[in-house]
Copies of this chain bind each other. A is one copy, B any other.
Amino acid sequence: MRSYKEIRGILQERITSQQWQPGDLLPSEQALSEEFGCTRSTVNRAMRELADAGLVERRRKAGTRVVQPKSHPATISIPVIRQEIENKDQSYKYLLLERLEALPPEDVRAQLGLEQNEKALFLKSLHYGDGIPQQLDVRWINISALPEASQESFADIGPNDWLLQRVPHPNIEHVFRADKATAEEQRLLQLQECEPVFTIERRTWISGQGITYVRLVHPGSRYRMATRSSATPTFN
């Protein structure tokens, strides 16, 4: 008798080895459950996880087919900057540069879902590792959603850390870019001539209500984002 993990591994092997090629139809759950001497539920779980991983596509009546990949799925984990710095055993320093309540630009207003003349909290801060600037955090926070933000000075705690405590599990959207550094970014991040920045734009919201919109700006020469999840994911 085989476990769903073993079955998943066997099926995965048959796919990566191209015994089953893209477009091919896999045997039905019924057939496989007989082959492996287990119940259909067990086979179902194995195949469902392969489908979640993007290796196969399943449709009722049509069966399960090997996917012809048209893109490379990948998962990344964007660490909170303080964590990332401390994990590297560097000393972390946080510096608040600017804090004010003001009318956000139109695009930010739309992203946060604010009224026409509604103010938001603007924060600009710098994060250092071993005294070297690693991240510039330029952020708008929706005060209607988080009135406590008005009372917080953000002198000692970074807005990212603060928000993670208040709103631990928001919805998130990210955009990554390689940008030319502005003059201000060049100065604040101590960039060399022509050194680009790696920008993470993040929008968070919860049940339709915008929470924050932020640009995380990193020195191109000191930042990389890595992935270790594959089209053929390393299951546990």
Query: Hey, which bits of chain A sit against chain B, CB under 8 A?
Result: 15-16, 18, 21-22, 55, 66-80, 83, 164, 168-180, 194-199, 202, 206-207, 218, 220-221, 223-228, 230-232, 234
Contacts and interface: CB of A to CB of B under 8 A. Distances in A.
A161 to B, nearest CB: 10
A225 B170 contact: no
A171 B231 CA distance: 6
A191 B112 CA distance: 34
23 contacts: A15-B169, A16-B170, A22-B168, A69-B168, A69-B169, A71-B78, A72-B78, A73-B78, A74-B76, A75-B76, A169-B232, A170-B230, A170-B232, A171-B234, A172-B227, A175-B226, A176-B224, A177-B225, A178-B196, A178-B198, A179-B196, A180-B221, A196-B220
B22 A174 contact: no
A226 B175 CA distance: 4
Given A18-B168, A69-B168, A78-B71, A174 B232 contact: no
A174 to B, nearest CB: 4
